[in-house]
Amino acid sequence: MASSMTPLHFLCGVLVLTIITRSTEAYGFPKCGSVNPGMKVMRLASCALAAQDEFAFVSRRCCAQVKKLEKDPDCLCSLLLSNAAERYGIDPEIAMTIPKLCNIADRPVGYKCGDYKLP
């Protein structure tokens, strides 16, 4: 028995995918690939203290991870503003200063990330 997809089935499928995509972005899932945001945020675990306390030491490991993500500021921004980052106690305003503290020369200065700008 052959299965045929009607235009209505196709339209329903597209609608469901659109809703899922938009809702995941709205609820803080990053715009940087299909990897779970919690997993990507975990890559920034070495930055946890520096992203919570503006006077904390920023490790070389943290700087290396941020430098990798800095190449895609949309991704970094969505991670910093994600629900996953919030659950880990990351303060986006403080976290936005990490690239400057790491002396990342080619950081996108002035890049707008939600209500914050990269210094």
The predicted structure's pLDDT at residue 87: 83
Does pLDDT of 55 surpass 60?
Answer: yes
Q: Which tops the pLDDT comparison, 65 or 23? A: 65
φ and ψ at residue 56, rounded to 5 degrees: -75, 155
What value, to the nearest 5°, has the Cα angle with vertex 86 and ends 59 and 63?
20
**Residues 29, 32, 33, 38, CA torsion sign:** negative
Encode pLDDT of 79-108 as tens digits.
888 888 888 888 999 999 999 999 998 888
Residue 70 CA to residue 99 CA, distance in Å, equals 8
The domains found in the chain, sorted by start residue, are 37-117 (1.10.110.10)
Structure-block tokens of residue 94? 């403080």
Q: With 0-12 CB in 10 A as exposed, 13-18 as middle and 19+ as buried, what is 78?
A: buried
Side chain identity at residue 17, one-letter code: L
